[in-house]
């Protein structure tokens, strides 16, 4: 009998599938022809499966909305970008790089500031001012001084409903601590990872999805691949939501917002409607993408 569901865990060739109809978890294997077709099911995949015997079989992987390689996960709706204020210091360049990668993968970003308590009042007020541009670009930003207060965590959890959520951010930004405040089981999973990594073994980390606040949350502290190899110079300006607000008014279609006359984005920039650091990072990334082209 053919059913539909979503893979929530993979363990050495077995896949635990959440059955949409019975709302139970069925252990399955992938049919042999997947290997021939070089298709590997991953956590987050929506599948059709047959569950007549003790062990079900995955019949087909339904089209993916997106997929990440590290960690291997598909159909991600939202990423919590954990952004450190200090130790390591706030980096708008890294934050923007993560944001454009998420936009490219059609994953909705949420910015979550940590370690703001390490800043002086003056530094914190300045950083809040710097983050205004992200509010202007319509990103959801959590930037309380006390990063892990119950009220803010509860508000964050409200964003989980009916979504698959992953966490990302630079090393040491406090992802594990945040996961711990959300659910200790997730925290335990991340502690295991760091112990394994410290032993220097390259063990593949199995990703699982946990049911939290009516959504599914990956127990992995983020993905690591942050380069711009897959992004073209044509696509880059479309990955800035605030550029899209104005680019319809540009004189030329396909305007790159660099030296073209009649550029509405540069006009908005000069009027302070677009944040200078976001635009500077945009030029930096454009340069990086063009240099890839020359190299290959």
Whether residue 22 is contained in a domain is answered as yes
Residue 156 has pLDDT above 90, yes or no: yes
The answer, yes or no, to whether residue 148 has pLDDT greater than 90, is: yes
Q: Is residue 230 part of a domain?
A: no
Residues 86 and 139 in one domain: yes
Q: Are residues 57 and 73 in the same domain?
A: no
Please check whether residue 202 lies inside any domain of the structure: yes
Alpha-helix runs per DSSP H in the chain:
33-36, 92-104, 121-136, 150-158, 175-182, 184-198, 241-247, 264-270, 276-295
* CA-based R_g, the chain, Å: 21
Least confident interval from 19-23, 147-151, 159-163, 175-179: 175-179
Residues 79 and 209 both lie in one domain:
yes
Does residue 175 have a known ligand-binding role?
Answer: yes
Domain count for the chain, please give it.
3
Tell me: is residue 123 an annotated ligand-binding position. no
Let me know whether 74 and 56 are in one domain.
no
pLDDT category at 51 given cuts 50, 70, 90 is: confident
Q: What is the mean pLDDT of residues 18-39?
A: 90
∠ CA 59-107-134, nearest 5°, is 175
Query: What CATH number is given to the structural domain containing 288?
Result: 1.10.40.50
Chain center to CA of 168: 6
Task: Give backbone dihedrals phi and psi of 114, rounded to 5 degrees, phi first.
Answer: -120, 165
Tell whether residue 173 is among the known ligand binding residues: yes
pLDDT of residue 36: 85
Q: What is the mean pLDDT of residues 62-90?
A: 92
Each residue's pLDDT tens digit, 182-240:
987 776 665 555 555 544 444 445 788 999 999 999 987 665 557 788 899 999 999 99
User: What was the pLDDT predicted at 250?
Assistant: 96
Find out whether 123 and 89 touch, Cβ atoms under 8 Å.
no
33 and 129 both lie in a single domain: no
Same domain flag for 24 and 161: no
* CATH number of the domain that residue 171 is part of: 3.40.50.300
Let me know whether 155 and 245 are in one domain.
Answer: no
Same domain as 120, residue 21: no
Identify the residue with better confidence: 190 or 267.
267
d(CA 241, CA 222): 23
Q: Does 136 belong to an annotated binding site?
A: no
Angle at 236 between CA 235 and CA 242, to 5 degrees: 115
Is residue 4 marked as binding? Answer: no
Q: Are residues 166 and 88 in the same domain?
A: yes
224 is in an annotated binding site: no
Residue range(s) defining the domain that contains residue 240: 236-295
d(CA 275, CA 279): 7
Would you say 280 is a known binding-site residue? no
117 marked among binding-site residues: yes
Which two three-digit tokens encode residue 52? 């007549």
What average pLDDT is seen over the chain? Answer: 89
Pair of tokens at residue 121: 């009042």
Residues 214 and 243 both lie in one domain:
no
DSSP assignment string, 192-253: HHHHHHHTT--PPPPPBEEEETTEEEE-S--------TT--TTTGGGG-HHHHHHHTT-SST
Please indicate, yes or no, whether residues 253 and 198 belong to a single structural domain of this protein: no
Ligand-binding annotation for 177, yes or no, is: yes
Looking at 62, 91, 107, the residue that finishes a domain is: 62
One domain for residues 57 and 108: no
Among 218, 252, 268, the domain-final residue is: 218
Is 176 annotated among the ligand-binding residues? yes
The answer as to whether 225 is a domain residue is no
Q: Is 154 annotated as a binding residue?
A: no
Is 263 marked within a binding site?
A: yes
Question: What is the Cα–Cα distance from 225 to 101, expressed in whole angstroms?
Answer: 9
């Amino acid at each position: 009998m053919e059913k539909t569901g979503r893979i929530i865990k993979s363990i050495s060739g077995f896949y635990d599938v959440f059955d949409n109809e019975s709302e139970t978890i069925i252990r399955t294997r992938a049919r042999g022809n997947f290997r021939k077709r070089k298709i590997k099911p991953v956590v987050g995949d929506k599948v059709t499966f047959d569950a007549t015997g003790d062990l079900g079989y995955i019949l087909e992987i339904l089209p993916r909305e997106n997929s990440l390689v590290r960690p291997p996960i598909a159909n991600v709706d939202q990423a919590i970008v954990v952004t450190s204020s200090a130790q390591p210091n706030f980096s708008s360049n890294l934050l923007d790089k993560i944001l454009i990668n998420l936009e490219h993968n059609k994953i909705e970003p949420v910015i979550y500031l940590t370690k703001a308590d390490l800043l002086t009042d003056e530094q914190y007020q300045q950083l809040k001012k710097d983050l205004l541009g992200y509010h202007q670009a319509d990103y959801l930003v959590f930037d309380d001084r006390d990063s892990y207060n119950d009220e803010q965590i509860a508000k964050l959890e409200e964003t989980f409903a009916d979504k698959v959520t992953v966490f990302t951010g630079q090393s040491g930004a406090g992802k594990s601590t945040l996961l711990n405040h959300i659910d200790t089981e997730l925290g335990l999973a991340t502690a295991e990872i760091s112990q394994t990594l410290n032993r220097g073994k390259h063990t593949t980390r199995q990703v699982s999805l946990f049911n939290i606040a009516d959504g599914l949350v990956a127990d992995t502290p983020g993905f690591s691949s942050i380069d711009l190899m897959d992004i073209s110079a044509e696509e880059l300006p479309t990955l800035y939501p605030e550029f899209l607000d104005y680019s319809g008014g540009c004189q030329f279609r396909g305007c790159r917002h660099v030296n073209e006359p009649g550029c509405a984005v540069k006009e908005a920039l000069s009027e302070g409607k677009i944040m200078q650091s976001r635009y500077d990072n945009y030029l930096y990334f454009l340069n990086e993408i063009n240099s890839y082209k020359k190299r290959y």
